[in-house]
Amino acid sequence: MERKRKFEAIFYPKSLAVIGASPDTTKFGTHSLNTLIQFGFKGKIYPVNPHTTEILGLKSYPSLKDIPDFVDLALIAVPAPAVPVVLGDCAAKGIGAAVIYTSGFSETGKEEGLKLERKVARISKEKGIDVIGPNCFGIYCPASNLTLPPGEYYSRESGNVAFLSQSGGYADRVCRDATGWRIRFSKVVSYGNACDLNETDFLEYLAEDHETKIIGSYIEGVKNGQRFLQTVKEVNQKKPVIILKGGSDEGGRRAIASHTGALGGRKEVWEAFFKQTGAVRVNNLEELIDSVLVFKHIPVPCGRRIAIIGTGGGSAVESADACERAGLSVPALSAKTMEQLQALLPRVGASAQNPIDLGNPWTSPSSYKKIIETISTDPGIDALITVTWQLPFFYVRRQLLWSLFQKVIEIPVAINKSLRKPLIMILCATPTEVEMLEAENEWRKIKDRYTAAGIPIYQSVERAARALLNFVTYHEHQKRIKHTRRTG
Amino acid sequence: MERKRKFEAIFYPKSLAVIGASPDTTKFGTHSLNTLIQFGFKGKIYPVNPHTTEILGLKSYPSLKDIPDFVDLALIAVPAPAVPVVLGDCAAKGIGAAVIYTSGFSETGKEEGLKLERKVARISKEKGIDVIGPNCFGIYCPASNLTLPPGEYYSRESGNVAFLSQSGGYADRVCRDATGWRIRFSKVVSYGNACDLNETDFLEYLAEDHETKIIGSYIEGVKNGQRFLQTVKEVNQKKPVIILKGGSDEGGRRAIASHTGALGGRKEVWEAFFKQTGAVRVNNLEELIDSVLVFKHIPVPCGRRIAIIGTGGGSAVESADACERAGLSVPALSAKTMEQLQALLPRVGASAQNPIDLGNPWTSPSSYKKIIETISTDPGIDALITVTWQLPFFYVRRQLLWSLFQKVIEIPVAINKSLRKPLIMILCATPTEVEMLEAENEWRKIKDRYTAAGIPIYQSVERAARALLNFVTYHEHQKRIKHTRRTG
């Protein structure tokens, strides 16, 4: 309960002091203040600055103690050497938590920065004030219209995905990149150097947070390896924990040291970590978002036997190769399914084997529907991937064929809910000419249709296969644990 | 010379007969005829159809022998059982080569189809008529405004890249997808089941074709393994041969059998093939196009020591990880370079180590220029990758910051020619919301600026690193061969 109350003040503060904002709009603190106002933060905002009485239309206070109200959370954006004093002032005012934006601490690799960070940590501990940062962007929580990252354009809608990030830039990019895929967040935390609250603290909170169903994270190094491992292991059994571990080799490790002062840890240690915890390992932000899509849209565990439905032999081959390279399987269909398919497919140029080749690019909507439904009943198949590269082909011939294409593309949207197996859509990326921008617009509209219908959609089979494999592997791990528990 | 003359008639025919076109515009033959007319084919076109006198405004002939002229090339688009007779007629008319569009041969896996294909091959041999196909799209050659694939929207411009494809659909997709990257083709061949002219025949021709500098290909299986290996080995020393080998596992192999009737060959055999020939192996069309971009734009061999210049710690870490995962290295810069960089970078939040973190997203154009130039003189660095994810960040704030962004983005374009090292640009993909379509338009315009300036540009470091590694590995192989020859 204590923990819960503490974090509530961080994610749902009723009042927020911004220390370091000024009438100079190029300053970081001022930028954040502006963002908060534009984003419609629901609590009260108190700018603090000794040299002015008003900032961006808000009454400004010379010091924290002049604020005639309690304050839940402080945002500190003053130069590094001034941070310890300001943090002390926050504690004196009775503020329970502070986000320290400022850089120039342990990540500099210099003695001075290290000392300063230790001092901040000591004040935090002695005065009992929780610190997020330094060298971070802090919190984005749409439910309270709170965004400390530069998020005036982030979604105002809440969702069930949380994202924990050592990197501020990544917290920002995830919020923006995920929007188009209709991924919405419960909470996003950029915690930087983690001199006080760290990845494990937030993970423990998110494990119990009812708003959060899926947890993504970007980790460079952890403060307490054993505690983190144990926590991930436990939390991952309740909610999938997807981890992008940054800094695996020489250059990457050099980068994390200068980024958040983290020690990356040896490669083998992390490999063992993922094996033990069963957390989902991803290699980059794209794969993280791609994987979240599967967890979000596919409600129940599924196996790795995939049926591919596409058009054209080359595309069928590449799709099967991509699935098999990722570690999925593309098994033969049952004799019964193949027989049924043969009756539905063109006599020449098609293939009723898995991968299924529809033959010509203009399948009729009714056959397409029957084909998908037939395959979904094959007991040897766990999930269906449909591959559509034809958008540009039809788009340039739109006076003749576009309406047919639109009818075909609506079929999976219409039948997805009644299928007994998960369906994943590949709608290949459009050509990159400026002249094809309107085709890109059509691509985006179709993407929205599928996303709204609960169908994960990707630009390539490779990306889909990687994401699906992550999902399958997660559930295989869960099953193994349960089995071990029963028999062990 | 004989070979050259033979292929000239295929790629630059002065006259072409289309057998199987009809007034019914839904027929494949008619569609091709229409495409040829729209694409402005430079030679004469003779439709052949016993039931009509005019098709799409062209005089039609009841049979081949009624054409009062010589014919260089025939396009055969009649049902499979009629193909042998038509091919015989072609030979009787003295036509030297025929593209057989029709499917329904060995790729069906049925005895009937196999027999029919053997018959076609026999006629080809006995009557001395070269056959491309069956089950293929044939030739696209912009220099003669010839396109037998559905290419009325392909580029009319010629270039120096050739593409050989067992798959018709892939020939079509490569032509379309490459356009936006300003890749232009000398010749594209879709040769399907290859019952007569095969991959090796075309490769031998392209090796000597002055228009062709880079050869890409999509191969499912080959007719004569030893001859193909020997030819690739030789040609690859003169011009890079990039091969997408389709069908590696169970599902993929099943797909190629039903696609072009090819036997895929064991995995290990292909691994040995790539090792012996030094041909560039790619996993999918995207990687093929990405790799062509490096070969096209980077004129001289380069090593694998990469400097990364980006903004933000997370991005720096991910970029270094992506390069190192691909097999490139991200080494430390020299002490001298680091010292010079430190004077150019912000004091806090930046990093002068490799990967270089510019610190804040709004670098000044003049510092950006000096930073790139400084790094390019480091003797321990072979190539530079600049990473820019900021387009959407600046785009949503365009009233304040867009003009600054545009100035920064112009720096590499302005200095690329004078740098002594290759430079590669990453301009991250834009968010996928419909509302961000105009940002996508800006992305495409910048992509065009870079492509015109001879800078390979990608949407992610992962893709760039994979392509660059292919380029580096190709040249390492070339060097090894030369060394062996000198010392052996």
Mutating which of A163, A250, A341, A432 best tests the B interface, going by the most B Cβ atoms within 10 A? A432
Model confidence at A337: pLDDT above 80: yes
B311 and B390 Cβ atoms separated by less than 8 Å: yes
Mutating which of A182, A317, A395 best tests the B interface, going by the most B Cβ atoms within 10 A? A317
Model confidence at A34: pLDDT above 60: yes
3-class SS of residue B150: coil
Work out the minimum CA distance from A487 to partner chain B, whole angstroms.
35
Percent of the residues in chain B that have a pLDDT greater than 70, as a whole number: 99
- Give the closest of A153, A332, A447 to B254, CB-based: A332
B405 and B437 Cβ atoms separated by less than 8 Å: no
DSSP label of A56: T
pLDDT in tens, B28-53: 888 899 999 999 999 999 999 999 99
Task: Flag if B321 and A285 touch (Cβ within 8 Å).
Answer: no
A381 and A421 Cβ atoms separated by less than 8 Å: yes
pLDDT in tens, B131-158: 999 999 999 999 999 999 999 889 999 9
H/E element, A219: strand A214-219
Model confidence at B117: pLDDT above 80: yes
Find, among A85, A75, A76, A73, the residue nearest to A116 by Cα: A85
Stronger pLDDT, A472 or A261, i.e. the higher one: A472
Model confidence at B10: pLDDT above 70: yes
Written as six digits, the tokens of A145 are 């219209």
Its sign, for the CA torsion A426, A429, A435, A438, is: positive
A357 contacts in chain B (CB < 8 Å)? 255, 258-259
pLDDT in tens, A4-21: 788 999 999 999 999 998
Percent of the residues in chain B that have a pLDDT greater than 90, as a whole number: 82
Work out the minimum CA distance from A173 to partner chain B, whole angstroms.
9
- Give the closest of B256, B320, B432 to A251, CB-based: B320
Written as six digits, the tokens of B47 are 């439709």
What average pLDDT score do residues B299-305 get? 93
Sorting pLDDT into bands at 50, 70 and 90, what band is A488? low
Q: How many CB atoms lie within 10 A of CB A462?
A: 22
Q: What are A357's strand-pairing partners? A: A310, A351
A462 contacts in chain B (CB < 8 Å)? 283-284, 286
Model confidence at B264: pLDDT above 90: no
Task: Flag if B357 and A436 touch (Cβ within 8 Å).
Answer: no
Model confidence at A25: pLDDT above 90: no
3-class SS of residue A476: helix
b/e for A21-58, b at 16 or more Cβ within 10 A? bbeeeeebbbebbbbbeebebebbbbbbbeeeeebbeb
pLDDT in tens, B201-250: 999 999 999 999 999 999 998 988 999 999 999 999 999 999 999 987 78
Mean pLDDT of chain A: 94
Sorting pLDDT into bands at 50, 70 and 90, what band is A264? low
Task: Flag if B441 and A437 touch (Cβ within 8 Å).
Answer: yes
Q: What are phi and psi of B308, to 5 degrees?
A: -110, 130
- Give the closest of A169, A248, A348 to B315, CB-based: A169
What average pLDDT score do residues A379-389 get? 97
pLDDT in tens, B342-358: 999 998 889 999 999 99
Work out the minimum CA distance from A135 to partner chain B, whole angstroms.
8
Model confidence at A409: pLDDT above 80: yes
d(CA B260, CA B251): 15
Q: What are B316's strand-pairing partners? A: none
B74 and B48 Cβ atoms separated by less than 8 Å: no
Sorting pLDDT into bands at 50, 70 and 90, what band is A454? very high
Residue-level pLDDT at A28: 80
CA distances from A305 to A339, A426, B190 (A): 20, 17, 32
Q: Which has the minimum average pLDDT: A323-332, B165-174, B197-206, B358-367? A: B358-367
Written as six digits, the tokens of A485 are 């528990």
CA angle in degrees (0–180, nearest 5) for B109-B115-B121 = 110
Model confidence at B262: pLDDT above 80: no
Task: Flag if A246 and B312 touch (Cβ within 8 Å).
Answer: no
* pTM, 2 dp: 0.95
At B20, the amino acid letter reads G
* Percent composition of chain B: helix, strand, coil (DSSP 3-state, to 5): 50, 15, 35
Strands B457-458 and B423-427: parallel
Work out the minimum CA distance from B75 to partner chain A, whole angstroms.
18
Q: Which has the minimum average pLDDT: A97-111, A252-266, A274-288? A: A252-266
Give residues with Cβ within 8 angstroms of A149, minimum separation 6.
Answer: A137, A138, A140, A168, A171, A172, A175, A188, A190
> Can you tell me the ipTM of this complex?
0.93
pLDDT in tens, B377-413: 999 999 999 999 999 988 988 887 899 999 999 999 9
- Give the closest of B107, B314, B432 to A246, CB-based: B314
Strands B58-59 and A457-458: unpaired
B434 contacts in chain A (CB < 8 Å)? 441, 444-445, 448
d(CA B254, CA B258): 7
Chain B's closest residue to A432, CA to CA, is B180
Stronger pLDDT, B27 or B192, i.e. the higher one: B192
Stronger pLDDT, A368 or B21, i.e. the higher one: A368
Strands A54-55 and B423-427: unpaired
Written as six digits, the tokens of B110 are 């049925």
Chain B's closest residue to A438, CA to CA, is B437
Chain B's closest residue to A328, CA to CA, is B251
Task: Flag if A324 and B248 touch (Cβ within 8 Å).
Answer: yes
Task: Flag if B314 and A218 touch (Cβ within 8 Å).
Answer: yes
Task: Flag if B165 and A314 touch (Cβ within 8 Å).
Answer: yes
Preceding omega of B299 cis (within 30 degrees of 0)? no
H/E element, A475: helix A461-487
Work out the minimum CA distance from A144 to partner chain B, whole angstroms.
23
Task: Flag if A441 and B460 touch (Cβ within 8 Å).
Answer: no
What average pLDDT score do residues A192-219 get? 97
CB-neighbour burial class of residue A274 (10 A; exposed 0-12, middle 13-18, buried 19+): middle
A107 contacts in chain B (CB < 8 Å)? 313
A393 contacts in chain B (CB < 8 Å)? 150, 172, 176
Stronger pLDDT, B262 or B124, i.e. the higher one: B124
Q: How many CB atoms lie within 10 A of CB B128?
A: 9
d(CA B198, CA B108): 19
d(CA A329, CA A323): 7
